[in-house]
Structure formats: C-alpha cells, structure tokens
C-alpha cells in the first residue's frame, strides 16, 4: 500500500468510489479538511489518513457535482435593461457625472 500525502488541491478517490479534494490541512489540530464531489465538507484526523487506502486522481472534468444547482437554474434568463441603459458606455458616462 502506498502512502499518499494530503496536498491542498489534490483529488483522491476512496475504495467505495467517492471523490474528494483536500481543501485545508491544520497541522496544529492534526486534521485534514476535505470537500467531497457533492460539496459536503468533512474533516479527517491525520492519524486516520493512512488507513483510508486512498488513490490520487485527477480533478473531475464535471465540476457541477459540488454546485447545488439544477441546470434550469442557471439557464440564460435575458431581461432587457431599463430604458436608457442599452448603451453601456452611456451608462458609464452617467455614473461619472
């Protein structure tokens, strides 16, 4: 078994297939803070890290797992600007006055 070190920004996979990223290492408290692919934040004791049998993996291409949004929530919703604000430069000029 290879020992993998908790490096901030590195992604790991547990034996059950769950993915997580190391987001912080607290040497004083001897804990490692991780964020799972679904966005859940968890804390692992440094003593238990070696027992987890982790595999280093590349960051997932689909980052949306940690974002709690339905694709319909971020679909483009075009609302026309109020009258007089169609020209961005004219709006900036109004702010300068």
Name which residue leads in pLDDT, 37 or 85.
Answer: 37
**Residue 45 confidence (pLDDT):** 94
Instruction: Tell me which residue of 43, 40, 39 sits closest to 63, measured CA to CA.
Output: 39
Model pLDDT for residues 52-83, shown as the tens digit of each residue: 889 999 988 876 555 555 555 555 556 666 66
What's the pLDDT band for 94 if we cut at 50, 70, 90?
confident
Domain boundaries, the chain: 11-96
For residues 89 and 48, give the distance between their C-alpha atoms in angstroms, rounded to a whole number.
58
Instruction: Give the predicted TM-score (pTM) of the model.
Output: 0.62
Give the full edge-to-edge strand order of the sheet including 41-45.
Answer: 41-45, 31-36, 19-26, 11-13, 55-57
Name which residue leads in pLDDT, 83 or 34.
Answer: 34
């Amino acid at each position: 078994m290879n020992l993998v070190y908790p490096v901030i920004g590195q992604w790991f996979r547990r034996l059950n297939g769950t993915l997580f990223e190391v987001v912080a290492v607290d040497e004083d408290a001897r804990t490692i803070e991780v964020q799972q692919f679904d966005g859940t934040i968890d804390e692992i004791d440094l003593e238990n890290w070696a027992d987890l049998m982790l595999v280093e993996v590349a960051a997932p291409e689909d980052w949306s797992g940690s974002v709690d949004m339905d694709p319909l929530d971020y679909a483009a919703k075009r609302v026309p600007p109020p009258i007089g604000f169609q020209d961005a430069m004219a709006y900036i000029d109004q702010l300068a006055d």
